[in-house]
Structure 1
Amino acid sequence: MCRLVVALLLLHTSLPAAGISGYEYLFPAPGSVYVSRFSSIIIRFESIDPRQLTNISTFIQLYGSRSGEISGKTRVASDGRTIICQPAAAFHPGERVTVDITPQVSANISTSLSTTRLFFTISQAESKPSWSDSVDQRMQKRAKTPIYGKSLVLQNGVSIPSDFPKIKITIKDQPADGYIFLNNWGGQPYNMILDNQGYPIWYLRTPDRRRDFKVQDNGDLSMLVRQDYPYGPGFISLDNTYTENGYYYAVNGYATDEHELQILADGHYLLLGIRSDQVDMSQYVSGGQKNATVYETCIQEFTPEGDLIFQWRAWDHFDIRDVQLEDVRGNSIRFPHMNAIDIDDDGHILLSSRHLSEVTKIHRQTGEIIWRLSGAHNQFTFVNDPLNGFRSQHDIRALGNATYTVFDNGNLHRPPVSRAVEYKVDVNKKTATLIWQFRDQPDKYSEWMGNVQRLPNNNTLINWADGSLPKLTEVRPDGKKSFEMWYVENIHCYRVFRFPWQGVAKVPYLIVEPSNEAITLLFNKFGDSNVAYYKIYADTHPNATTLVDTSRMSVKSLIDLQNEQTYYFRVTAVNLQGRESGYSNEESAFVKLIDRSGNMVLNGDFASGKGYWKLSTNASAAANWSTAEQVGHIHISNGGSELWHVQLDQAGMLLLNGEDYLFEFDAWADAPRPIGAVVLQQESPFTNYGEIGLTALSTRSKHFAYTFKMKHQTDFNAAVVFILGQSVGDVYIDNVSLKRIVDARITREEQMTPQAYALFQNYPNPFNSTTSITYQVPEESDVRITLYNVLGKVVESIVDSRHPGGIYAAHLDASMLDSGLYFYEMTAFSLHSGQHVRYINKMTLIK
């Protein structure tokens, strides 16, 4: 075991490990400052196998100036070369630690190992930063919320939900093989694998933005995760059945930085850690803050078994005074904003540090710097580069034979410009020659993120990252574009990759989209061409086992469910040989099926007491309520200081993008007062969808009615909210209603009800991207309208719901479809007469 007692000697040394005879690597480095309280001690000898030590459990002794004696455990790491001493408790803030290393080996073993003493100093005030401290979070406001359409089945048979990001491809000229790996920053987050048509072959709807989605050298997929994991943010890996098989995170007092994970072919992995220190910057620069927050990053390497065997800290090797882009005299400094790591073909580490404008090559065993390219300590002359090197870069990648690509963000070029660059480095001549670059015309500038990938066919993939720019530009060696892809909306993406990939899901993946007309299930057994049909299971309790339907398509709308119940859904796939897969993930939905123009608010007349409604108070506010005489009566004894400090609300409203709604209620108060009566988003930024201002109440009951168009993305869980704070007194609410306004051409008046079924020609036709299909039903019917390509393959389910008698218009968004001839089929089944009809028309899409 290692032993920690109070230090009696206050000697100081600052020798690197390479300067101490017999030692290859020591961590913390001698003389280190701002060392985490939670650090372990890591030692590697130059030539001695640590298992040859005769005192392995006691040869490391640590003396803390303030801690007192602390027990610990010393062991050989799973690589068989590295020794780890893990203290049983954290070091004391600000203390100076002395390490005495006294290795002993058998007399018959020749060694130059010597007894060594070294020192390091613990941080006075440190913490693991939250993700909100990230620059990317501070720039979230730049991400535009996309407007989505409806769920549909694509030409490759994959069904996608209504909030799936829209892709547009503007250039497609014999691009490279392989699939496109990316995620979206803007709207509902997804990780996705796309083909060269822009169609997904796999996707995952995620609760957080899972950037850096790629295929690792060991064949697994990996992506960042920000929440819901036991050690906080980290990375997860998936195998080729899309089953999670690994979780990777930083240790030693560091949180996992979001920029990089590299899993090597042998299972070793490297990632970046981040932590914050409160630092007196006045000791480094004139005018520096006495208590600045410094976000320091480091490299950590682990064995496949998860042992930390190498840590390389910015504090040990860089000078914080060299930081660019941020004022080192400010309150917050990112030092040095490490954003990419790679392994060179000689096995050593390449590091990109954005705030130094530097790429550093690091000896992977000793931690010594091999060379520094660009930045304040550049060791090379740039040749053939009109911009004299890169600035504020991302994504260093080794191509072999001392050539490297970089995404040059170019923040500090004058004027700023971004480009993809490739350099040939000659360590003997000390030159870095620009041998290839792509600088678009006109110039593009992405001030953050981005990456470059050299493809097997020698094309180069460039991700410009920012929402205003393409997510993927693929260029040939001569600079001609062979592929360019964008998000339709202003959506960012940290990195984009192209890889060969073969994956077959073990079980279907299920997404449930509830609406007031049907519960729509989307299910895909990604990559499996042997699926004959799907089985759908539903129950009012978890672990559903009741078979309720089957489907040969990868989407199904359910309407025969008990209303006002929460249902749990699972799906299996049955293959052509009749074998059934395991269950999909289970999803739940509250069923609230209503007439197309019916009231979405449950218990809006308070006939069922307080059911479905919730009264909440915030800060110092106090209120209670009752439903005497079937009226919502809210008594406010303390209204708080803000209107929102008292709220009565009901969630679960479905608002569809582009549809019109009518919000109505009766209200009065014991004295004139304003209230807020709104339909809004339940999470930040709490958008007021109806753009409704304050409502003035009097002492007499009054009916209020507000109409609005849903201009934002479809919300499956919007809320009706009455905002009642600031004033004391009594407020009365009744007859609350939120209805979707049916198209003006639809009527339920008997004399206007159509006498027969009909499907009319779409208009316009031919069309570019959008068209409308008008149809009519004479009585309540189940109606489906399905779009087919010329091969008879289902392209999209346009309508699948129950309709009362009327005239309807369905709007088709074909922006993701190819030009050509399509057929649309309407089938309808009357719930009264039993009549069954089928009509087919054709349409032409021209882009």
Structure 2
Amino acid sequence: MIKLMKNFILSISLALFLLSGSFLAMGQTGWQYISPLPGSKWINPEQTISFRMGEQILLSSLDGNLLQLECSKSGSMNCDFVLADDGRTVIFTPVKPFAFGETIQVTLKKGITTFSGKIIEEITFSFQIKQRETISLLAQYYIDQEEEDLSFVKNNAVTSTQNKSVSELITYGDYVLPGNYMSPTITALNNPFPGYTFATPRPNQGAPYKQYNVILDQFGEPVFFLEWTSNCNLFQKIVDDKLIFCAFSNPNPSVNKWYVLNNQFQFIDTLYMGNGYTIDQHGIYMMENGNHLLIAYDPQPVGMDTVYPGGNPNASVVGLIIQELDANHNVLFQWRSWDHFNILDGNHVDFTAASIDYVHGNSVSLTLDNQILISCRRMDEVTKIDRNTGDVLWRFGLHAQNNMFSFTNDTTGFSHQHDARQIENGNFTVYDNGVYHTPPFSRGVEYELDESNLTATLVWDYSHDPLIYANATGSNHRLPNNNSLICWGLTWPIAFTEVNSNNEIQWELNYPDFVWNFQAFRQTWETGLFSTNFDTIDYGYYHDYIPWPVIVTITNQSDDEITINSASNHSPAFSLATQLPQTIATQETKNFIVNFYPEGLGQQDFEDVITFNYDSYFGDDSLSRRIARQVVLKGTTIDPSSIDAFEKRSVGVFPNPTSGMVEIHSQEGIIEQITVSNIFGEVVQQQPVSSGLEFNLDLGELANGIYFIKIKLQNHDQQIVKKLIKR
């Protein structure tokens, strides 16, 4: 019956499409793309009218009078226009919104000319404005969706046994995390891919926490957090070291927006949907030129009794809108599921219900060939869309009703998935929620798609042992070293797992009970609010009986004073000797002494990170915020009892202390370069050495004090560091 009804609807839709003249408008006149699509309905009153050519358009040939709008209720309407930065898209903006329920007759007169001299012929088409405001339908949909997710959580909630973190924390100053902050626990740490994890952990109703955007290091320590008053999602780094996150409200979606921040965490832009649509928090994709893809949900009243036997005549059906906007917030491209999908394409959907969500787009991105890729959860489908024309290029999913691919080795497929994307090797990754697997379980998957022959091969998948199941949210990101970072979604305590190509766990993070995440990103990051003179301090080989100090200089690069309230590290071999807090005026610096003193810790290689924290309040001084900067610390110990033996087989510096002249002898290899640094980390002398196992160094012009002699030997990766006292 469903297939019969779908064929009937498709036939009617095709007939209306032909009658609308859309084939004439787009096929015979040379326009590559027209929005709204001729003959379309349920268009917002704020809609712009866009035309795109396959070649550049002469700006001098454009005129606002070229477009005539005759509205069935509003009468004639004038337009402003802009030629987009791509030089191919003309956007006409009516001087006022259209009226609900009216039909718009569009005439674009002959005269627009391309660079090649082609003059575009006149075209005429129409579209229909929706009957009424639908923001209340959208709010009700979001409320119902949240209740559905919470119902699943309540019915499946378990109280977990929290594992102990693999690393202890050594703190300095007033190191206090807010009482409503969700502190994670690292339960596996085995050489994860470098970088920071960006996330928006979200507490369920009743959990004793607030919403935060966070940047975490490999130990789970925050180098940034920002408390927020509403729900947040998809906090991540974008181009030019900017940050972005979505702030949204389910009961009041009209306030939804994307915030853009610079690397000093200042708010510099706000992104909205165009054409009267409301931001949805499920997806964004930022491009280097400032263009961005956004998602909106579009509920419309539909008489489902004419679509499906027993359907509700007053149903609210939720469509999907994809837009590409430029850096000036112009809508360059708009794609609507109403024009390309059938309502009955949804899987496991009750078509007799009062509210029907048949698409539920939950990710949007670009493919390697610059086409649009979306994940359609309720259709069990990943869809590729032509970014220039809006045509559907293919539909992929073992269980999707319109799947176009043959699966060579996968009988499971993905079910109600999230986070579809194409990765650098050309394959496609998906987070498979596995809602309708038997039994349900979640996993990350990777497919090799032959887009010419339409075949799909499963080349990798990972499910946790024991199995983890999240009915909603989640992500599967491939890292540059071929590791995979999986966010498990609406579940706890395990939130994120990083595995290598052999599915061995490299890193795992737990959150407290009733805290979950939508996605997680592993990215590089350094704040621009304040800087350090070191990214890494390598103390070299330690063979002494006293601490080795190095001074870290922090420079305040902001327009306001900052206070380093606290600091932390993990290994007792390193310590901060400077008392905190320390306030730094704008554009000023302060010094912080970091010691390496591995007394009694045996012979080993040490690697740690020290974090300098600036804690403050944001907004009306009620929202907690932390901004931090980290310095990596390295050093290697040698048992002091074997110093003499070490000197004989390694490198010697004599005399020490010295009044000026120093002799350097190497027993391990030819000396290649000698660098002298003070305790501030400043290089005060650097001497290349042509060859030889001995070298005389004159330090007579240096002030008395402590210096570090770094000796680079040929064919040795690590420098040998000697502490020297000049007096």
Q: TM-score, normalised by structure 2?
A: 0.66
**How far apart in 1 are the matches of 2:96 and 2:237?**
38
Query: Which of 233, 244, 248 is 1:226 aligned to?
Result: 248
- After superposition, the Cα gap between the structure-2 partners of 1:395 and 1:179, relative to the gap in structure 1 and judged at 3 Å, is same
- Matching residue within 30, 44, 47 for 2:52: 44
Taking a change above 3 Å as real, the CA distance of residues 166 and 582 of structure 1, as seen in their structure-2 partners, is closer
Report the counterpart of residue 403 of structure 1 in structure 2. 427
Other-structure match for 2:409: 384
Q: 1:201 to 1:267 in 2, by over 3 A?
A: same
Corresponding residue for residue 436 of structure 1? 460
> Equivalents in 2 of 1:466, 1:529: separation in Å?
41
1:137 is aligned to 146
Q: How far has the Cα of 1:154 moved from its partner?
A: 5.6
Root-mean-square deviation (CA), in Å?
3.5
CA contact (8 A) 1:78 1:305 kept: no
Among residues 168, 171, 190, which one is paired with 2:185 in the alignment?
168
Match of 2:469 in 1: 445
Question: How far is the alpha carbon of 1:266 from its aligned partner?
Answer: 1.6
Change (3 A) 1:435 1:108: closer
SS of corresponding position for 1:365: coil
Show the 5 A alignment for 1:307-706: 307-374=330-397, 375-387=400-412, 389-505=413-529, 530=553, 553=566, 573-574=584-585, 576-577=589-590, 585=618
Over 3 Å counting, the alpha-carbon distance change for 1:56 and 1:177 in structure 2 is same
**Amino acid of the residue matched to residue 222 of structure 1?**
I
**Paired residue type of 1:225:** A
Contact 1:344–1:400 (CA<8 Å) still a contact in 2?
Answer: no
Q: Is the 8 A contact 1:126 1:278 kept in 2?
A: no
Tell me, yes or no, if the aligned pair for 1:571 and 1:584 is still in contact at 8 Å.
Answer: no
Report the counterpart of residue 292 of structure 2 in structure 1: 269
SS of structure 2 residue aligned to 1:333: strand
Distance 1:145 1:411 in 2: 19
* Cα distance in 2 for residues equivalent to 1:48 and 1:532: 48
What CA distance in whole angstroms lies between the structure 1 residues aligned with 2:393 and 2:338? Answer: 17
Shift of 1:334: 1.9
CA distance in 2, matches of 1:107, 1:40: 22
Larger fraction in helix: 2
CA drift of 1:582 comes to 13
Cα distance in 1 for residues equivalent to 2:280 and 2:171 = 37
* 1:412-451 C-alpha deviation (Å, 9 max, x unpaired): 2333222111011102221011111112233322110000
- Specify the SS of the correspondent of 1:336: coil
CA distance in 2, matches of 1:59, 1:552: 63
Q: 1:392 to 1:454 in 2, by over 3 A?
A: same
Separation (CA, whole Å) in 1 of partners of 2:253 and 2:310: 41
Equivalent position SS for 1:35: coil
Give the C-alpha shift of residue 286 in structure 1: 1.6
Q: 1:461 to 1:230 in 2, by over 3 A?
A: closer
- 2: distance between equivalents of 1:369 and 1:395? 19
For 1:355, what is the secondary structure of its paired residue? helix
Q: For residues 550 and 77 of structure 1, what CA distance do their matches in structure 2 show?
A: 45
Task: State the shift of 1:287 in Å.
Answer: 1.4
* 2:146 alignment partner AA: Q
Q: What secondary structure is seen at the aligned counterpart in 2 of 1:210? A: strand
SS state at 1:449 partner: coil
Q: What is the rounded CA distance, in whole Å, between the counterparts of 2:290 and 2:114 in structure 1?
A: 36
SS at match of 2:423: strand
- Among 186, 202, 211, which residue is 1:189 paired with? 211
- The answer to whether the 8 A contact 2:302-2:314 is kept is yes
> Per the alignment, do residues 586 and 496 of structure 1 end up closer, same or farther by CA in structure 2, a change over 3 Å counting?
closer
- What is the match of residue 222 of structure 2? 200
Q: Distance in 2 between matches of 1:435 and 1:466?
A: 26
- Any idea what the Cα deviations from partners look like across 1:511-535, whole Å, max 9, x if unmatched? xxxxxxxxxxxxxxxxx964599xx
Q: Secondary structure at the match of 1:456?
A: coil
Q: Does the 8 Å CA contact 2:55/2:115 hold for their aligned counterparts?
A: no
| Separation in structure 1 between the aligned mates of residue 89 and residue 453 of structure 2, nearest angstrom | 36
What SS does the aligned partner of 1:174 have? coil
Equivalenced residues, count: 526
CA drift of 1:271 comes to: 0.7
Measure the CA separation in 2 of the matches of 1:550 and 1:407: 42
Following superposition, the deviation at residue 469 of structure 1 comes to 4.8
Letter of the 1:264 counterpart? M
Match of 1:35 among 43, 46, 70: 43
Partner residue of 1:98 out of 95, 102, 105: 105
- The offset of 1:167, in angstroms, is 1.1
| Shift, 1:115, TM fit | 1.6
Query: Within 1, Cα distance between the matches of 2:115 and 2:446?
Result: 53
Letter paired with 2:125: L
In the alignment, the residues of structure 1 paired with residue 72 and residue 290 of structure 2 have an alpha-carbon distance, to the nearest angstrom, of: 39
In structure 2, the partner of 1:155 is: 170
Letter of the aligned partner of 2:122 in structure 1? T
2:310 to 279, 287, 292: 287
**For the structure 1 residues 12 and 223, does the alpha-carbon distance in structure 2 shift closer, same or farther, using more than 3 Å as the test?**
same
1:68 matched to 2:49? The reply is: no
CA distance in 1 between partners of 2:615 and 2:192 (Å): 37
What code does the residue aligned with 1:137 have?
E
Looking at structure 1, the residues matched to 443 and 403 of structure 2 have their Cα atoms a distance apart, in angstroms, of 20
Over 3 Å counting, the alpha-carbon distance change for 1:414 and 1:231 in structure 2 is closer
| 3-state SS in 1 of match to 2:32 | strand
Write the deviation string for residues 487-517 of structure 1: whole angstroms up to 9, x where unpaired.
Answer: 022211111111111224369xxxxxxxxxx
Would the aligned equivalents of 1:16 and 1:30 in 2 still touch at CA under 8 Å? no
Q: By how many angstroms is 1:166 displaced? A: 2.3
Amino acid at match of 1:178: G
* Amino acid in the other structure paired with 1:161: P
SS where residue 453 of structure 1 aligns? strand
User: Which has the higher mean CA deviation after the structures are superposed, 363-372 or 109-118?
Assistant: 109-118
Task: Give the letter for the 1:237 counterpart.
Answer: V
Residues 578 and 473 of structure 1, relative CA distance in 2, 3 Å threshold: closer
The percent identity for this pair of structures is: 30
Structure with more relative contact order (C-alpha pairs < 8 Å, separation 6 or more): 2
Kindly indicate whether residue 135 of structure 2 is the aligned counterpart of residue 128 of structure 1: yes
CA pair 420-227 structure 1, distance change in 2 beyond 3 A? closer
Give the structure-1-normalised TM-score. 0.57
Name the residue aligned to 2:636: none
Contact 2:563 2:584 in 1 (8 A): no
Query: Is the alpha carbon distance of 1:381 and 1:315 closer, same or farther for their aligned partners in structure 2, counting shifts above 3 Å?
Result: same
